[in-house]
Structure formats: structure tokens, C-alpha cells
Structure 1
Amino acid sequence: MVLQATLMLFGSFFVMLLAGVPISAGIGIASVITAIMSGMDPAIFALTAAQRCFSGVDSFSLLALPFFSLGGNIMNKGGIAKRLVRLARLLVGWMPGYLAATNVLANMFFGAVSGSSVAATSAMGSIMSPLEKDEGYDPNYSAAVNICSAPTGILIPPSGPLILYSITAGGVSVAALFMGGYLTGLLLGLSVAVLAIYLAVKKGYKSSQVKEEASTLKILVDAVPSLLAVIIVMGGILGGIFTATEAGVVMCLYCGLLAVLYREMNFKTFYDLLADTMKSSATILFLIAASSIMSYVMSYSGIPAAISSALMSISSNRYVILLIMNVFLLIMGMFLDLTPAVLIFTPIFLPIARSVGMSDVHFGLMLITNLGIGSVTPPVGSCLFVGCGVGHVKIEGVTKYIVPIFAAMVVALFLITYIPAISLLVPYLCGLVPSMWW
């Protein structure tokens, strides 16, 4: 019965995905089909589903997502991204293929302030692509580096996906997840940078010959207000001054003030930003509501427990179980966007991770890293499509560069998975988790 429900739920869901049905609608329809075919009373299920939808989005913590999304959009259009790029070029201009290294570092800076990999892909791609083209870089190489370095933005806090995981997992400490994201994000960014520089050396790209018109001091001074957003947000959360949701409001106000001071955003641009944020937030909330129904159906059918038992029957070795989980999530990340994947797979795999001694914080960072890597792979990778669009290149041309960088990112993923201290050292030093080991 459980196997039948599992096949029916996920089988019908993937059939609808292949048919082009929107993900949120596919989740809801698959849940309804499975519930009815499993013998649930339609009237009771309809009432319960409505309650689950409402309770799924009735969360003060969820308000953080639209605020951080708006803050990232303001940074993109308000002149903040350009100042971060100039700082990054100043720091890594001595490297071979310095513009690629600049792209990686700028994505890490931008991610540290915006928390959005798609926003980072768009902002940095639109700025870096013309510069790299002028210096003779292969556009496919440039786009691949931009695409693969963008997921650092969902690990280095503040991070919308980490907040979403915290809510889905039942209230895991956002502060602990944020602090754990620093080393994991740095490791992922370093893995991309190493491969990017190696490829740059092979292609003969040189270090910077650009003479900056502005002095080093001016570049640093211009970038400080942008980077100060991280200190304000994280300092406020860790100091107990405000919650993660309130931090999102503070970030929007601060970034809006910077955009006004930089005079790079008008009322029309701001209106468009609000409209884009409203659309993306509505999409996420609809996904959460639909996923709440799926979670209920999975619990009723006993699917998470069955999957856990099946994994445990394969091996009792935690390393083997984590390997299987990672391979499965890497494959699923190729077909699902990050948000629905977090909502679907957290309730399935978190109990398994707990059973092998993995902390909720460590699992969350492993999950988000894994699904972030999925955002650079076809056929559904959001960063891939945005990066190809702003870089004016085709997916087939970018793929030959993405493959080796993807391999380096997977190595970083397994280091994060099997060395808990990478995820837990900083939260442990901050007193947010009891241990940094298994």
C-alpha cells in the first residue's frame, strides 16, 4: 500500500512536470490523486487540505522571504552590485583570468548581502559579461563561471532558502544556519574559483592590465556601505535586537537608502522591483501551500517512514546512507527548482539524517548546498537559464565548462557532508549548537 502510494504520488507529479504543468499545481494535483486513490474520504480530505494550505503559509517567519527578495532586487538595480564588482577586481586583479575570479568573489559578496543565487547570476552576469568580452574571454567560459559561482549566494547569509528550510524543518535556529553558511559558502566558492583559474591558465588569460580611474581608497570606501548591510543584519540577529523577519525589513530600508544616495533608481524602477518581488513571493507562498498538502498525504500514507526503512535496509553505515541521499538529491536537483525541492524532501530526509546522528543544522546546509548545485544543471537549473540569458550564450556551449566546475562543486559538497565541522564550527563558537561533530 505504501509503495503504491509512493509511486502514485511521485509518478503522477513527474508526469505532470514533463507535461509542462506548473510545479505548484503539479504538487497539489498529485497529492489529491494519491489521497483519493489511497482511500481517504474526499470531504474530510478537502477540509483538511484547506486547513493545511492556510496553516502552511500562516507564519510570521515566512515574511522574511519577500523582504530579503526585495532587498536583493534593490541591490541589483541600485548601484550596489557595481561597487562590489570593483572591490572584487581590486582584490583578485593579480590572478590569471582575474575577471573570472572577480566574478566568483563578486557573487560571494553579492550573495552575502542579497541571499539570492538567481539575483546574483543576473546582476553579476550583466556587469561582468561585457568586461570579459572586451578582454577576449570565451563568452561560454565567462557564463559558466558566473552560473556556477552564483549558488554561494544561498549559503552565505542572509539566505532565503535557509529560512525556508528552518520553517519546513520545524523551527531550526536561523541564526545557527546563517552562521554555518559562512564556511560552507566559502568552500563552495573556493571550489569554483580554483577550477575557473585553472581553466583560465589553460586558455592563456592574463592578470589585470586595467588602470582604475578611482584610487584604492575610494573603491574601498564605496564598497563599505554595501558590505555593512551584512554586519547590520547578522549583528542584529545574533545580538537579539531583531528576528530574521525584522532583519529583512531593516535590510530593505538600508538598501533602499543606499539606492537613493547612489541616485541609480527612480520611481518606475522601484515600482517594477515591488511588482517582481510580489510575483516571486506569491509563487513561493503558493508552492508552500501546495507542499503542505503533499506533506499531509505523505504522512498519512507513511511514505517518509517507508523511505527511511528502505534506506536503512540497504546499509546501516551513515556514510553510505548520506552518499545515497546526496546522489538522489543531485539527480532531483536537475528536475526541481530549489524551493519545491526543499519543501518536498526536508520532511522525507531529515528524520533519516537524525537517525544517523546528523544535526538539523548540518543536514540543512548539506541539503541547500546540494540543491544549489542543482540550480546550475539542465534541464531545470534556474541559474543556468538566467546566466545563459544575460551572457547571450547557448546551454550546449556552456556545458563543456560547467561539467568540470560541477565536479569540483560536488567534491565540496561531499566535504561539507562528511566533515561536520565545516558547517558547525562557526555556530559552535557562537554558542548556537552544542557540538561541531557527529
Structure 2
Amino acid sequence: MDATLLATIVLFGTFFLLLILGVPISVGVGVSSILAGLTLVPLEMITFTAAQKLFGGINSFTLLAIIFFMLSGSIMNNGGIAIRLINLAKLFVGRLPGSLAHTNVVGNMLFGSISGSAVASAAAIGSVMNPLQKKEKYDPAFSAAVNIASSPAGLLIPPTTAFIVYSLVSGGTSISALFMAGYLPGILMGLSIMIVAYFIARKEKYPIAEKVNFKQGLAVVLDALPSLSLIVVVIGGIVAGIFTATEAAAVAVVYSMILAAIYREIKLNHIPKILKETIVMTGVVLFLVGTSSIMSWVMAYAGIPQYMTDFLMSISDNPIIILLLMNVILLIIGTFMDITPAILIFTPIFLPIVTNIGIDPVHFGVILVFNLCIGITTPPVGSALFVGSSVANVPIERIIKPLFLLYIPLVITLFLVTYFEWISLFIPRLLGLL
């Protein structure tokens, strides 16, 4: 048997088997990579190389940005900003039919972009919105579906760790360009859900929020302004060249602490819990990055990316067909794999293929993250799906029907973003980042 084919079968066969058996993804990645490596090189070499790659994979200044953004997000999640952002969202979309559903979507877009976590967004926004929607006779399954489907929008709207991970594994794609490229797709993701929610709300005759006067509206804006300013400080600083993404993440931590002091939502005895949350999350991510570095080396040594390129190009050399195949594969992968490991594993496989057909790495980064954002809202293991269901106290089987209606606009928007690259690249080009 061809060495490359054997290594591919051992690598992915072992990995998916361990995944089915419930082994943690990072362990599965490491074990399958070492076993695949044994088909290529002696035991001594793969042992030494694996240890070297495990350390070298996390020995990166850029990874500090992930740690700091996670800490900032944890502070924000406990800092009482959800209700302020919900009030602001309601101010913008409160006069639309089904105003609370639209408020939920916009709230997720705002909170997700600040916290950098779809799960945190689904939990924080959902816990506030579900009682309000229940009070106004919304179908609980519909409310939960809207919350789940819109929770990943903040993973596209910067700052987001997903693009930092992609930048790292793609060989240094500009983080600034990736951040700017995520804005329009993230906004379109939210708007597409709102369009479907609008028609459902009109059909079900869900109420419109009461009109607020100028004084009330100004108070809401001023109350939410300090939280929103984090985005301006972080993204503005990166684009203006004042600081790097890593430095911006550290600034975000300081800003979050100041904001928590202003809102007085976090007490001193909350800090150990926040730090513990961050340590656990970053420990998981960093170990995954390290083991994925072993997998990347094995794939490169075996020539698996080139093998996959030749295979897909043998099917078609038409970029439209190749991107369609990639989207289908990534949508399937997203149903059972979380966003970070999927980026780490599949970027080295697909990036050489897309660059070979002339696709900009920044544009592909947006396509990749968009696909995986949909994945975390889908059964059987979507993290946002389970959190949204738990917060709403609605069984998943009841949520699936309204959720499938929301998958339609999400997939349509995904294909618009895929085939009209200006949606992703317009802002980066406008700012001279490409």
C-alpha cells in the first residue's frame, strides 16, 4: 500500500475511532498522529519529533492573545454587561414584529463580539431573554432556536480567538485583515436569522416593544457605551497599528477590569473563579494546539495535503465545485467537532488547495469559520445547541424543528460569502490590509 495512503488511513481512522469512543479530542489527535507517524519513521524519531512539536507548537507569542482574550471574555461574562447590551439591542430593533426575537439576535452579535464565545453568548443572552419571551407568549422552542442560531455570530465579528487560531496554523495570515474580514459576514449571519424571525413573528402575531422616548434611549446608549467601547479600543488600536493583536488582548483585559469596577458587578471573591475558568479553558486550547502541531508535521511528512489536493483536483479543477465540496465537508465536520480543533486539523489540509485555485487565505479563513459556526449549533454534539437548550429548559427534540428553518438562511448566507469574496475582503481592502 502507498505510504501516504496508509498514513492517511491510520491517522484519520484512529482519530475518528477515538472520537467515537469519547476520548478527548486533544488526546485523540496526539495518539493518532504518533501511530500514523510510526508508519513513516522509526519509534525513536517520532517520539523525539512529537515532543519537539508539542513544545514548539505552543511556544508562540501570538498564542498569548488567545489567553488574554479568554480572560477578558471571562471578566465580561461575569461583569453584568449582558442586560446593558440587550437594552441597547432592543432600542435598535424593538419596533419590529417579534421585537424580543430580534433583540436576542442583535444581543448575541454584540455580546459575542465582546466575549468571543458562542457558548457564553447563548448562556448570558438566553438566560435574560427567555423569561422575557415566555412572559410575552413566545413559543419557547422558537425562542431557544433563535438564541442558538444567532449565538455564533460573535465568532465572526471581532475580536475573536477563532481567527487568531487560524492565523497561527495558516502560517501567519494577517490577524488585522481577518478581523476586518469577519464584520460583514457576521452581520449578514445575524440579519439572515432576523429575516426568517420577522416572518415567523408576523405569522404568530408576536408583539412589538413599546416605543421609548429620546431621554430613555439616550440613557440606554450611555449605559452600554463603555462595553461597546472595548471593541473600538481593541479593533481601532490594531487597525491603526498602535498595538499588535496580542497587545490588544492585554489591553482588553485591563479595560474589562476597569469596566467591571465601574459596573460593580464583580467582587474580589469572584476573581479566583474567573482566573480558574480562564486557566482551564486556555489549558485545553494550548494542549490541543500542541498535539495539532504533531498532526500537522505528520501530514506534511506524509504528503497528505498534496494527496488531498490531487484528489480534489482530480474531481474538478473548477473553483466553484471545489469550494462546494469543501463547504459540504466542513458542514459535516462541524456537526461533531468543535471549532478550535476543526480549524487546527483542517486548515493544513484545505489551505494548500484553495491557494492553488487562487482563493485568498483571508477569504478562506472566513469561509472556514462560518462553516464551523453553523456546526456548533447542530446535533449531535453542538455546544451552543446544548447550552441554549439547557438555558431555555426546552428539550432538544422540540428545538430542532424551528432550528431547521433557521439553518436555511444560514446556509444561503454561507454560500453568498463563499462565492462573493468581496463580502469578506471589502473592508480589509478598503483599509489597505491586503
Interval containing the TM-score (normalised by the shorter chain): over 0.9
Instruction: Name the CA distance, whole Å, in 2 between partners of 1:122 and 1:245.
Output: 27
Q: Deviation per CA, 1:166-188, whole angstroms, max 9, x where unpaired?
A: 01101100000011111111111
The match for 2:32 is 30
The match for 2:140 is 139
Q: How far has the Cα of 1:213 moved from its partner?
A: 12
Q: How far has the Cα of 1:115 moved from its partner?
A: 2.0
The match for 1:280 is 281
1:342 aligns with 2:350: no
Q: Secondary structure at the match of 2:265?
A: coil
Q: How far has the Cα of 1:210 moved from its partner?
A: 7.8
The match for 1:14 is 16
Structure 1 vs Structure 2 CA RMSD: 1.4
Q: Secondary structure at the match of 1:60?
A: coil
The match for 1:196 is 197
Letter of the 2:29 counterpart: I
Instruction: Name the CA distance, whole Å, in 1 between partners of 2:40 and 2:81.
Output: 55
Q: How far has the Cα of 1:243 moved from its partner?
A: 0.8
Letter of the 2:389 counterpart: C
The match for 1:324 is 325
Instruction: Name the CA distance, whole Å, in 1 between partners of 2:253 and 2:53.
Output: 30
Instruction: Name the CA distance, whole Å, in 1 between partners of 2:311 and 2:213.
Output: 60
Instruction: Name the CA distance, whole Å, in 2 between partners of 1:210 and 1:119.
Output: 30
Q: How far has the Cα of 1:349 moved from its partner?
A: 0.3
Q: Secondary structure at the match of 1:316?
A: coil
Q: Secondary structure at the match of 1:265?
A: coil
Instruction: Name the CA distance, whole Å, in 2 between partners of 1:274 and 1:39.
Output: 42
1:44-123 equivalences in 2 (<5 Å):
44-123=45-124
Given that residues 95 and 210 in structure 2 are in contact (C-alpha distance below 8 angstroms), is that contact kept between their aligned partners in structure 1? no
Given that residues 115 and 155 in structure 1 are in contact (C-alpha distance below 8 angstroms), is that contact kept between their aligned partners in structure 2? no
Q: Which moved more, 1:327-336 or 1:190-199?
A: 190-199
Letter of the 1:432 counterpart: L
Q: Deviation per CA, 1:24-52, whole angstroms, max 9, x where unpaired?
A: 1111111122122x141101110011110
Instruction: Name the CA distance, whole Å, in 2 between partners of 1:212 and 1:252.
Output: 35
Instruction: Name the CA distance, whole Å, in 2 between partners of 1:48 and 1:8.
Output: 18
Instruction: Name the CA distance, whole Å, in 2 between partners of 1:70 and 1:137.
Output: 35
1:161-176 equivalences in 2 (<5 Å):
161-176=162-177
Letter of the 1:292 counterpart: S
The match for 1:313 is 314
Q: Secondary structure at the match of 2:189?
A: helix
Gap runs ≥5 in structure 1: 434-438
Instruction: Name the CA distance, whole Å, in 2 between partners of 1:343 and 1:194.
Output: 33
Given that residues 95 and 211 in structure 2 are in contact (C-alpha distance below 8 angstroms), is that contact kept between their aligned partners in structure 1? no
Q: How far has the Cα of 1:10 moved from its partner?
A: 0.9
Q: Deviation per CA, 1:267-318, whole angstroms, max 9, x where unpaired?
A: 2222211111110100000100111111111111111111110000000110
Q: How far has the Cα of 1:72 moved from its partner?
A: 1.5
Letter of the 2:321 counterpart: V
Q: Secondary structure at the match of 2:151?
A: helix
The match for 1:302 is 303
Given that residues 316 and 322 in structure 2 are in contact (C-alpha distance below 8 angstroms), is that contact kept between their aligned partners in structure 1? yes
Instruction: Name the CA distance, whole Å, in 2 between partners of 1:86 and 1:153.
Output: 18
Q: Which moved more, 1:206-215 or 1:174-183?
A: 206-215
Q: Which moved more, 1:419-428 or 1:196-205?
A: 196-205
Q: How far has the Cα of 1:12 moved from its partner?
A: 1.1
Instruction: Name the CA distance, whole Å, in 2 between partners of 1:14 and 1:264.
Output: 43
Q: Which moved more, 1:138-147 or 1:316-325?
A: 138-147
The match for 1:262 is 263
Instruction: Name the CA distance, whole Å, in 2 between partners of 1:151 and 1:297.
Output: 32
Letter of the 1:81 counterpart: A
Instruction: Name the CA distance, whole Å, in 2 between partners of 1:129 and 1:213.
Output: 27
Q: How far has the Cα of 1:360 moved from its partner?
A: 0.7
Q: Deviation per CA, 1:354-409, whole angstroms, max 9, x where unpaired?
A: 01110010000110011111010011211111111111111111111111111210
Q: Secondary structure at the match of 1:79?
A: coil
Given that residues 49 and 293 in structure 1 are in contact (C-alpha distance below 8 angstroms), is that contact kept between their aligned partners in structure 2? yes
Instruction: Give the TM-score normalised by structure 2.
Output: 0.97
Given that residues 7 and 40 in structure 2 are in contact (C-alpha distance below 8 angstroms), is that contact kept between their aligned partners in structure 1? no
Given that residues 24 and 286 in structure 1 are in contact (C-alpha distance below 8 angstroms), is that contact kept between their aligned partners in structure 2? yes
Given that residues 40 and 302 in structure 2 are in contact (C-alpha distance below 8 angstroms), is that contact kept between their aligned partners in structure 1? no
Query: 1:210/1:268 Cα in 2 relative to 1: closer, same or farther (>3 Å)?
Result: farther
Instruction: Name the CA distance, whole Å, in 1 between partners of 2:199 and 2:153.
Output: 19
Gap runs ≥5 in structure 2: none
Q: How far has the Cα of 1:217 moved from its partner?
A: 1.2
Q: How far has the Cα of 1:132 moved from its partner?
A: 0.9
Letter of the 1:14 counterpart: F
Given that residues 377 and 384 in structure 1 are in contact (C-alpha distance below 8 angstroms), is that contact kept between their aligned partners in structure 2? yes
Instruction: Give the TM-score normalised by structure 1.
Output: 0.96
